[in-house]
Amino acid sequence: MKIAFFGTPAFAAESLKSLFEAGFDISAVITAPDKPAGRGQKLQMSDVKKTALDLGLFILQPEKLKSTDFIEQFKTLNVDLGVVIAFRMLPEVIWSAPKLGTVNLHASLLPDYRGAAPINHAIINGETQTGVSTFFLKHEIDTGDIIHRDSIEITQTENATSLHDKLMILGAKTIVSTVKTIEQFRDKTPASPQIISENPKLAPKIFRDFCELQTTLNSTDFYNKVRGLSYYPGAWIKSPWGDLKLLVCQLLSESIFQNIQNQNHLSLGDSFYIISKRLFVKTADSYIEVIELQLPGKPKMKSSDFINGLRL
């Protein structure tokens, strides 16, 4: 069975490696063109391209997926199956070309959290479980028939970075299982239609304004938003020192909360407090302790180091 693999970031590269190690015939890897990055603006390869080069696979990097040249080149590959993970939206002429269809791996338990940022939104919404799903592509985004779903726990201290890495490993196993199922059943692969509720949980693309923290949030929602956006793109809050990113925070026990209320604390602005070289933010119902933060244009740092550098 000949496979065309579409992907760009590390999340997809892990699955590409697993498919290769499982012995599947990957006829081509389609990934993003090299792009200038960093201070020197040197061309940088995607993680998928780096992996494909290491594995000695044939690589295509089309600028435009709808270009006649790419479409004709793709059709000549005559692949049996397309596998898409963290890639651009494919035109129908591409995803419908493989004989057995095209499957996508999505980092959520579909139909919940369809969209561009499922890992972030699951944590922000306080979910205790998420996972990965594979499904056949169709016209509407993330709505195709589901082949496999595998779940994983979201711990109370999980952030978007750590959950991403766990789902990357789980997803690689799930995509291998999915392709094995398709190889076994061919055009009769069992797949279940998604049952989408009237009020589905969605995962839209995240923009900077969404990342702003408001002290009108209760402590749990504040904490979940911080970890759901950490380390990237990072939740931020207006502060006396500019727009401050809060990267790691901690919920407080009732005893510590009462201790803060009873002590003479140093107030900085309307919401920031320092006690014994510890930084706190007042929320709607309590306090949150800031463990790690980032000033505008500066590297991330421990809040204790930040406090040591203040002129108080």
Q: Which residues of 64-81 are buried (b: 16+ CB within 10 A; e: fewer)?
A: ebeeeebbeebeebebbb
DSSP state of 117: -
Model confidence at 264, in pLDDT bands (50, 70, 90)?
low
Quick one: tokens of 102?
A: 């095209």
pLDDT tens-digit series, residues 205-249: 999 999 999 999 999 999 999 999 999 999 999 998 999 999 999
Tell me, what DSSP letter sits at residue 139? S
**Closest Cα to residue 208, out of 186, 235, 189, 183?**
235
Does the pLDDT at position 256 exceed 90? no
pLDDT at 116: 94
pLDDT band at 63 (very low <50, low <70, confident <90, very high): very high
Q: Please say if the pLDDT value at position 141 is more than 80.
A: yes
d(CA 78, CA 47): 25
Q: Quick one: pLDDT at residue 123?
A: 98
Q: Is the peptide bond before 111 cis (omega within 30 degrees of 0)?
A: yes
Among 155, 118, 110, which Cα is nearest to 134's? 110
Name the average pLDDT for the chain: 94
Residue 258 has pLDDT above 70, yes or no: yes
Compute the distance between CA of residue 4 and CA of residue 28 in angstroms, rounded to an integer.
5
Sorting pLDDT into bands at 50, 70 and 90, what band is 140?
A: confident
What is the spatial distance between Cα 12 and Cα 7, in angstroms, rounded to a whole number?
Answer: 5
| Closest among 130, 165, 162 to 149, alpha carbons compared | 130
pLDDT over threshold 80, residue 101:
yes
Higher pLDDT, 267 or 151: 151
What is the pLDDT, as a whole number, of residue 36?
87
- What pLDDT sits at residue 312? 60
Contact call for residues 123 and 97 (beta carbons, < 8 A): no
Q: What is the structure's pLDDT at 121?
A: 98
Place of tokens 């200038």: 36
| Confidence at residue 261, expressed as pLDDT on a 0 to 100 scale | 72
User: pLDDT grade, residue 90 (50/70/90)?
Assistant: very high
Domain 2-188 has CATH 3.40.50.720: no
- Amino acid identity at 71: I
- The class level of CATH for 208-308 reads alpha beta
**151 pLDDT more than 80:** yes
256 sits in which H/E element: helix 254-262
Task: Over range 17-43, report the average pLDDT.
Answer: 93
User: Residues 119-146: what's their mean pLDDT?
Assistant: 95
Q: What is the pLDDT of residue 42?
A: 87
Q: Does 52 score more than 70 pLDDT?
A: yes
What average pLDDT does this structure show over 183-197?
93
Q: For a pLDDT cut of 90, what percent of the chain falls above it? A: 83
Nearest to 266 by CA among 278, 254, 249, 251: 278
> Model-level pTM?
0.94
Would you say 178 and 89 are in contact if contact means Cβ atoms under 8 Å apart?
no
Instruction: Please say if the pLDDT value at position 72 is more than 90.
Output: yes
Weakest-pLDDT range from 156-170, 175-189, 272-286:
272-286
Number of helices (H) and strands (E) in the chain: give both, helices first.
Answer: 9, 16
Ranges of each domain in the chain: 2-188, 208-308
Mean pLDDT over 250-255 rounds to: 85
